[in-house]
Structure 1
Amino acid sequence: MTRSIRDITLVMPVLNNTNVNPVAFILIGIPGLESVQCWISIPFSVMYLMALLGNCTILFIIRTEPSLHEPMYLFLSMLAATDLILSTSTLPKMLAIFWFNAGDIAFDACLIQMFFIHSFTAMESGFFLAMAFDRYIAICNPLRHSLILTNPVISKIGFLVVLRAVIFFSPHPFLVKKLSYCQTNVIHHTYCEFMAVMKLACEDTFSSKAYSLTVASLIGSFDLLSTAVSYVFILRTVLSLPSKEASLKAFSTCSSHICVILVFYTTAVFTFLTHRFGHNVAPQIHITVANIYLLVPPMLNPIIYGVRTKKIRQRVFKMFYYKTI
């Protein structure tokens, strides 16, 4: 049913002593865990199904419920769409590797997957920042919330988040495409991650790697710092409210957002630091965390928002209640 790595190498184009762009790359999954990848696929496939169901439910509820056409929920729908595309760009191919050892991926398909992974990760970070800005206005300047975050403004913010990701991560495929490769076309990863592909090049890739790490660190740092500053002002405003009940109610609207941000940035920082400093980190640990970075937030986001957000929770109960009548 599956082919071993030795079998794969027999059908690989011989790249020794040549500098060419390979027709295809071969993803091997998680190095060192090949024998248990079938078992690893079980929680990964469950996470993917939950991500699909949860984010599709969020999108459907927000689309069909007029009372949810507010800034917070519109940004949440953008985040849900981003999560759907991000998880779908990696999971199906990953499961094909785990189940059938079908790691072959065309060169251009690898570039497309690379662009989707890095750009949509940046979009997710941008939408987290947009949601933090919404909560800041709603709590710190509630009387002007509807005047500041109008539908045209929300659309412009969403467009800028997408445009920023496309502009800064569009060079990645071109940086990879212009290189020549030698020795092997086997990628020791579950998806076409930029740094993993760079390792196969037989040229100096310092400038390309520096660009990628710089862009990722600048975008991530800006978004995380701006989000943190927003919540500092939010916390100060909440603590200054005269009623403890009012303080708890105000801060509860932010708790779900804080939870998903912690999950997203914790794994993101680990992945970044591993690329930059963690040369002694075992590959299976690094790649497993890299997968968690792309799979867990899309799964958890709709769950956390569904449980912690009263309007969404009530709409879900209402939807399933009517179905059971």
Structure 2
Amino acid sequence: MPSYILKRILSLIPVFFVMSVVIFLVVYLIPGGPAASLLGMEASQDQINALNTELGFNRPFLVQYGDWVMNVLRGDWGTSYLLKQPVLQAIGEHFAPTMSLAVCAEIFTLIFSIPFGILAAYKHGTTVDTVTVSVSMVGVAIPGFLLSMFLMLLFGVTLKWLPVAGYAAMSEGFGQHLRYLLLPAISLGVAQAAYITRMTRSSMMDVLYMGYIRTARAKGVRESAVVFKHMLKNAAPTILTAIGQSFGGLITGTIVTETLFNIPGLGMLIISSINQRDVFVIQGVVLFVTLVYVLVNLVVDLTYGLVDPRIQMGKK
């Protein structure tokens, strides 16, 4: 187990290297340069040259890249030119709403997707299966912003059950916190639930007619044990992969939803940074969400051996 974990971590080094180069180039290759972007179109060439000198953008590319990587490793991700605060501090202030929204959306996703995926596979070829597959296809196809607007109109404007937009921190009470997150979480969770439902159904179907399933039934094992102990356990790695990708996508892909519901998360931060051309914040947020996505997939990879004993970690 420790050797497998070490190998998986070491295998991420090339990923992090390529990722760092691409993210650094996001700033370095901005038309006109990052200094011109920060100062705006009204800036004079003297002002641009002065800012390039102040921020070190007139140095060779490799020198800038090397210094940036070393600063990132030390925890210095730069300072927002407009917010006048460290980039990591700005990310930390906006990460909690995004994380809360992602967790709520993932809980909603799992509550509906796993049971319906199992049921659709178990009732393969019946009306239940057809309806589940059809609804999941609709869930994948419907645009997120359209679903968000419909939910806001129905539950916020017409029924007045939930707030239309805004955010309440956990310090204001868990109930109030949840009320503001419920609509955006449902909006995000519908598409993810549809995806995981289909993946669960597909992976369960792959093991439905395997020999060990027929043997378990021939031995008189209870049907619930056949489904959950044998079928679901052997289908778990595929389902776990889908869940990991879903959660990573929820953290990194909430820009539209956060903007519509006015949630001060990472999505709102990067939108405001793009509008204000705050390139250091853009660079930091992209780096942060990429790291989170990679680490989520690493955790999923490491848990394979826990859900499926056939996977012998560190062995061929």
Asked whether the two chains share a fold, i.e. TM above 0.5, the reply is no
**Relative contact order higher in (CA < 8 Å, ≥ 6 apart):** 1
